[in-house]
Amino acid sequence: MSRSSDAEKVQRLNAAFELLGSGCGHAAAADSLCERFALSRRQAYRYLLDAKQLKSPAAPVEATIPITIKVPAHAVEMLRAHAMRSGMTMGEIVSRAITSFLARHRRHG
């Protein structure tokens, strides 16, 4: 069986959050998650434990798609170093940089 995507995890976590918020007991909530998402009871309880820590539903995760770009070697070295220092992935850094650049560009031009 394949691993769940981040979007699927958020969907399941939010379903667990809603069940707990509606006053559903843990056993009934686990049964509901098992049935709805074809989870094992153990997985369902993990989602319930994580959902108990939330104050509000988790933000949906936007799907990502791979792209291929060519950048100077020095830029890649700086990107890798920043990723190591920050704990972020290179993809997260590039995505934030592109989004910020395009937002500024739209405002100015």
Domain ranges of the chain: 6-52, 73-108
What percent of the chain stands above pLDDT 70? 96
What is residue 2's predicted lDDT score, i.e. its pLDDT?
73
Average pLDDT of the chain to the nearest whole number: 92
pTM (predicted TM-score): 0.63
What is residue 39's predicted lDDT score, i.e. its pLDDT?
95
Whose tokens are 């976590």? That residue is: 13
56-89 core/surface letters (b: 16 or more CB in 10 A; e: else): eebeeeeeeeeeeeeeeeeeeeeeeeebeeeeee
